[in-house]
Amino acid sequence: MIQVEKVNIGEIPILMVGKQDLKNIPLPGFIFLHGFMSAKEHNLHYAYLLAERGFRVFLPEAVMHGERGEDYSEKVMAKSFWKIILTSINELPDIKHYITEHGYAIHDRVALGGTSMGAITTLGAITQYSWVKAAVSMMGTPAYQDFAQAQLKEFAKQGIDLGYSEAQKEAIFNDLQKYDLSIQPEKLNGRPLFIWHGEKDPVVPITGIRTFVNSSMPLFTKGQVTYITDKHAGHAVTRKGLLEAVNWIEGKIV
């Protein structure tokens, strides 16, 4: 039987998903990060499938989302996008410490992944934390600076004024540089990476991840990076993509 429990790590509500008969045994861990305007419960299907394969899966709530959210306006959420991502990155060490020190996850077998904003967060976290054993990006981009600039242009086209001065925009771009895997691909450092992306994605265009893969290929070892695209998919992971990710994770971690 698959069991879902809720714990709080400081201000972070987390769902833990694993086999009930393995409750008291440390398992390979997978931290799964949800997307923008989503919530931790929306990825329980990933967690269930991984738990069946012998993982314990941890679904944290991003700040300003789900239990940690309020009825924020579109402008407030849009303006907070990168703040949310960087907060999630900064919270990961506390999550890692908690799940390993309490015996929920094996210390050196913790992977990280997510969808959309969660995938973007994952790709940034890789640049900061060597303990991430493997990573999964579903509809993400490692190109933080390029994506932030594209977002601002898109908001302007839609008539959404976030109220940033040019100096503030420049400060944001400079802050994001530290986490931008596209300009420091060596930070992947031999770790396995799974990528899935729809070629017709209008929200997080495939260009960022495709350019990263193509330009960084000489740095990758054989089989290190699995790059799967779906020529018909937009900004939604197909069932085939979901199963490909689960199979890959099982092969790399368990």
Which range marks the domain in which residue 6 is found? 2-253
Question: pLDDT, tens digit, for every residue of 45-66?
Answer: 999 999 999 999 999 999 999 9
As for how many domains the chain has, the answer is 1
| Higher pLDDT among residues 98 and 77, named by residue | 98
Mean pLDDT, all residues of the chain: 94
74-78: which pairs have CB atoms within 8 A and are 24 or more residues apart? Answer: 74/160, 75/160, 75/162, 77/36, 77/37, 78/151, 78/155, 78/160, 78/162
pLDDT tens digits along 111-147? 999 999 999 999 999 999 999 999 999 999 999 999 9
pLDDT of residue 82: 94
CATH label of the domain that carries residue 109: 3.40.50.1820
**Gyration radius from the chain CA atoms:** 18
CA 100, 45, 72, 177 torsion-angle sign: positive
Q: Where are the beta strands (DSSP E) in 165-249?
A: 193-198, 225-230
